[in-house]
Amino acid sequence: MYALKNKVQLIGNLGNAPEVKTFESGKKVASFRIATTEIYRNAKGEKVKDTQWHNLVMWGKLAEIAEKYLDKGKEVAIEGKLVSRNYADKEGNKKYITEIQVNELLMLGAKSE
């Protein structure tokens, strides 16, 4: 049960190509967003489409794979953990962000040419 304390599994589509940064050490980090969509019927019987956006971050080898193979619209399954952090923007304002630190990636859908 210990492994279930902070675990996220999602299947969704990339909203943009991964933004990849390479550090002086050579280590890479990739960040991008995926959308997950649920379709259900409300109390009136109307079909409702609910889309949620999730911020993802991948490090090291996974970042290299994301850079090489992932692009906008690609369907992926990911597993990772929720991570919250804060930073100061250009104006010095403190910003908070929650993202999913991915540790497993599965590319879904048809093979790219």
74 domain-assigned: yes
pLDDT along the chain (113 residues), means of 10: 83 96 95 96 94 97 96 96 93 94 91 58
Range of the domain at 62: 2-107
How many domains does one find in the chain?
1
113 domain-assigned: no
pTM: 0.83
The predicted pLDDT at position 107 comes to 95
Q: Which residues pair with 33 in a beta bridge?
A: 55
The predicted pLDDT at position 111 comes to 64
102 domain-assigned: yes
Both tokens of residue 17? 């190509």
103 domain-assigned: yes
112 domain-assigned: no
The predicted pLDDT at position 27 comes to 95
Domain containing 88 — which CATH number? 2.40.50.140
pLDDT in tens, 1-25: 666 789 999 999 999 999 999 999 9
SS3 track for 39-90:
EEECCCCCEEEEEEEEEEEEEHHHHHHHHHHCCCCCEEEEEEEEEEEEEECC
Q: Which residues pair with 50 in a beta bridge?
A: 38
37 domain-assigned: yes
